[in-house]
Amino acid sequence: MKNINKTRIITIDGPAGAGKTTVSRELASRLGCVYVDTGSLYRGVAYEVYRCNLNWHDDAELDTLLSSISFELKLHHGGLYRLFSSGQDITDYIRTPEITMLSSDLSAKAAVRQALLGFQREIAKISDAIFEGRDMGTVVFPDADYKFFLSADLNTRALRRYSEMNGSKTLDEIKQAIELRDNSDSSREIAPLKPAEDAIMVDSTNLNHGEVVDKILSYINQN
């Protein structure tokens, strides 16, 4: 029997460029629940570190910053959220190449992960949600109702990113940046990128987003 006091949580983990964002958004809209992009929170921390020109290798400095950070996800149109830090909308500033790599570096720090853990779990109490990230099924929501791990081969992921960009980077540069981030995200000691033991693996190399969404929905509907 469904526990009516519990929200339904679906986790989508996977490496950069596997299509998690597009798939999670579409799933959330089809299932009528919210979509939470947890990478944006790590990016938000990176943005604050960058903005304050903080020496994040210094644990005391990082702790001070983390205890002063106040994030809020505010619902925007289309069911999408925007990230506010101390009241300022920072959504448009967190996707630069510098912030992208810095967020990966910072995500290896225990203090950063710990600071974001409670925030993510609080959101899950409010509403049914799709949580997209790297450690959703393994660490943040080990009891999630459904766990998926989305992957695709490196060439395909790089090509997808390349087609989304305006030609400011070559395909090779994008491939290298993705590989660097994959290595850093999956080799860190704490909460590394890896599938949960009970995650359903979805390889999207030869599937378009719609086909991935259908595959995930058919699994959810059957289980």
The residues binding ligand DC (CB under 6 A) are 16, 38-39, 42-43, 103-104, 107, 133-136, 181, 185
Q: Measured from the CB of residue 164, what is the shortest distance to ligand DC in angstroms? A: 13
From CA 57, how far away is CA 97, in angstroms rounded? 20
Find the helix or strand (DSSP H, E) in which 87 lies.
none
Q: Measured from the CB of residue 165, what is the shortest distance to ligand DC in angstroms? A: 14
Report the phi/psi class of residue 75: left, alpha or beta, with left for phi > 0 and alpha for psi in -120 to 50: beta
Question: Which residue stretches of the chain are H helix?
Answer: 20-31, 39-51, 59-68, 97-106, 110-126, 154-164, 171-187, 209-222
**4 vs 92, which CB is nearer to ligand DC?**
92
Residue 19 and residue 209 in contact, taking contact as beta carbons nearer than 8 Å: yes
From CA 89, how far away is CA 191, in angstroms rounded? 28
**91 vs 107, which CB is nearer to ligand DC?**
107
**107 vs 151, which CB is nearer to ligand DC?**
107
From CA 198, how far away is CA 212, in angstroms rounded? 19
Q: Measured from the CB of residue 44, what is the shortest distance to ligand DC in angstroms? A: 10
**44 vs 213, which CB is nearer to ligand DC?**
44
Q: Measured from the CB of residue 18, what is the shortest distance to ligand DC in angstroms? A: 10
**92 vs 222, which CB is nearer to ligand DC?**
92
Q: Measured from the CB of residue 169, what is the shortest distance to ligand DC in angstroms? A: 15
The partner residues of 73 in beta bridges, in order of sequence, read 83
